[in-house]
Amino acid sequence: MSQSLPAIIYPVAIPLMGAFLLPIGARRMAELAGLFGRIVVLLSFSTSLALAVSIWTAGPAVSAMGGFAAPLGIVFYADRLAMLFLLALNVAVFLFWPRGQGAKGGPCTLMLALLAGGSGLILSGDLFNIFVFYEITAVASYGLAASGRTHAGFAAALRFLILGSVGSSLMLIGIALIYARTGTLNLADLSRIAPHALTGPVGLAAFILLLAGLGVKAELVPLNTWVPEVYGAAPARVSALLAGVVSKLAMVVALRFVVQVFPGDGAHTVLLVAGILGVLAGELAAWRAGSLMETFSYSSIAQLGMVALAFSISGAAGIAAGIALALHHAVVKPAFFMLAARWRGPVGGLAGAVKDSPLAVWLFVILSLSIIGIPPFPGFWAKFLFLKAAFAAPSAGVWIAVFVMLAGTVVEAAYLFRAVLVFFADGERGGSTPRFAFAQLAPALGLGAVLLAAMVFIAPLGASISGMADEASNAAAMAARVLDRGE
């Protein structure tokens, strides 16, 4: 552990350096910007993979920057949960790398900055570093939202920026509150101090302020007015990336706060309420939406609400359910967005799509069945984990969560089947709906293949996720790993 450059910083350092170098090179050789960026992502992915392998075999890794040990120094902390989402982020950035007109220096730089910020967010073990990386991620996503260079894109990005900055400022107030009460910013240190120093209304206020900041990215009610605007106006690849993976990173950070800093009932109740509102508002808005793009924007609010519901059940079982839901959504939703990007316009105009693009329609059916939770698809199993966690820890709040979850699923099934019925409408000769070129369908097909593969490997996947959840729910062990090294 005492080598000069610990492996844990490469997933952040490499894309960050790439993001600084790329614009310089792009001035001379604009056509190489995309290639250079992809190489940087591959490099960052391979270092992440190497780190993941070492963590899977040797347990969580901690690194103290510059040789200063925690709590004085700033730490990065990587366990299996962090590595899972780090790898998912790397894969998603590579998969949704800008193409064609969009593959200029600007968007490529922003993608690398997003990768660096997101990786830092997931690895940081320190409140203020989380804020800084959160801001890097946020600024990169404002820029990416506008990267279509359309009028709507600029307007959506500006409105997103204003909301996001208010959220970040509230988060910073929360951090100031926590520091004033406890005198530390280190999450591991806080997990020992906070249970007696951060109680009562002050602790709850601090949690709500932090969640207000994270909630903008995690699409929590009422901080998600940007969602339909940005996902409608931004390039589909950006929407897929933001909804699929970046929102989950904020959710995972919220989970870290709940486990390490706010283990009391108050924080769980706040998450529960945010989740209930998210599921209800999201599913109903998705049901009313006119186009597929809008439907999936709102349904992603609902899906993240379900993740929040799962995280609000205390204990490892709830965390496992939340991870499974988040992971499943991270695979399914980007694929939906890639399909919806081609099928723009009112759903009614897509009648007979099955004759024009049968492969895309069948992929849509499989994704829908999985997200609704029909066995044997992985989505069923994620929702089953949620119900299992709920029955293991029964309380009034949990029953409401179960009811909301099931009600949301019914609405979800209603609007997805409505779209499928339109695709299979009789009496349509076809030819009136857009066809997919293979390159347009490829990312969605790849994600569909991942989904089907997950169906086969569901047992080892389940065991791995519950191990991950056990590790991530044990705040005392995490604190010991960070603080008691070398003693």
Instruction: Report the interface residues with another protein, using CB under 8 A.
Output: 128, 131-132, 135, 139, 142-143, 146, 150-152, 154-159, 161-162, 165-166, 169, 172-173, 175-176, 179-180, 185, 228-229, 232-233, 290-291, 293-294, 344-346, 349
Quote the least distance from Cβ 258 to another protein, whole Å.
Answer: 23
Cβ distance to another protein smaller for residue 127 or 313: 127
Task: Return the closest-CA partner of residue 2 out of 58, 54, 66.
Answer: 66
User: Strand, helix or coil at 346?
Assistant: strand
Quote the least distance from Cβ 10 to another protein, whole Å.
Answer: 23
Q: What gap in Å lies between CA 139 and CA 113, rounded to an integer? A: 9
Q: What gap in Å lies between CA 371 and CA 16, rounded to an integer? A: 34
Quote the least distance from Cβ 182 to another protein, whole Å.
Answer: 11
Quote the least distance from Cβ 139 to another protein, whole Å.
Answer: 6
Task: Return the closest-CA partner of residue 38 out of 18, 53, 10.
Answer: 18
Cβ distance to another protein smaller for residue 248 or 342: 342
Quote the least distance from Cβ 246 to another protein, whole Å.
Answer: 17
Q: What gap in Å lies between CA 188 and CA 477, rounded to an integer? A: 9
> Do the Cβ atoms of 9 and 48 come closer than 8 Å?
no
The Cβ-side half-sphere exposure at 345, using a 13 Å CA radius, reads 9
Cβ distance to another protein smaller for residue 117 or 278: 117
**Given the structure tokens 């359910």, which residue do they identify?**
321
Cβ distance to another protein smaller for residue 297 or 312: 297
Quote the least distance from Cβ 345 to another protein, whole Å.
Answer: 5
Cβ distance to another protein smaller for residue 213 or 352: 213
> Do the Cβ atoms of 338 and 240 come closer than 8 Å?
yes
Cβ distance to another protein smaller for residue 295 or 473: 295
Cβ distance to another protein smaller for residue 143 or 334: 143
Quote the least distance from Cβ 241 to another protein, whole Å.
Answer: 19
Q: What gap in Å lies between CA 68 and CA 484, rounded to an integer? A: 13
Cβ distance to another protein smaller for residue 128 or 424: 128
- Region for residue 204 given its phi and psi (left: phi exceeds 0; alpha: psi -120 to 50; beta: otherwise): alpha
Query: Which one-letter DSSP state was computed for residue 486?
Result: T
Quote the least distance from Cβ 301 to another protein, whole Å.
Answer: 16
Quote the least distance from Cβ 430 to another protein, whole Å.
Answer: 20
Cβ distance to another protein smaller for residue 51 or 223: 223
What φ, ψ does residue 209 adopt, rounded to 5°? Answer: -65, -45
Residue 30 tokens read as 């604009």
Q: What gap in Å lies between CA 344 and CA 356, rounded to an integer? A: 15
Residues paired with 77 in a beta bridge: 62
> Do the Cβ atoms of 116 and 15 come closer than 8 Å?
yes
User: Strand, helix or coil at 124?
Assistant: strand
Count CB atoms within 10 A of the CB of residue 427.
6
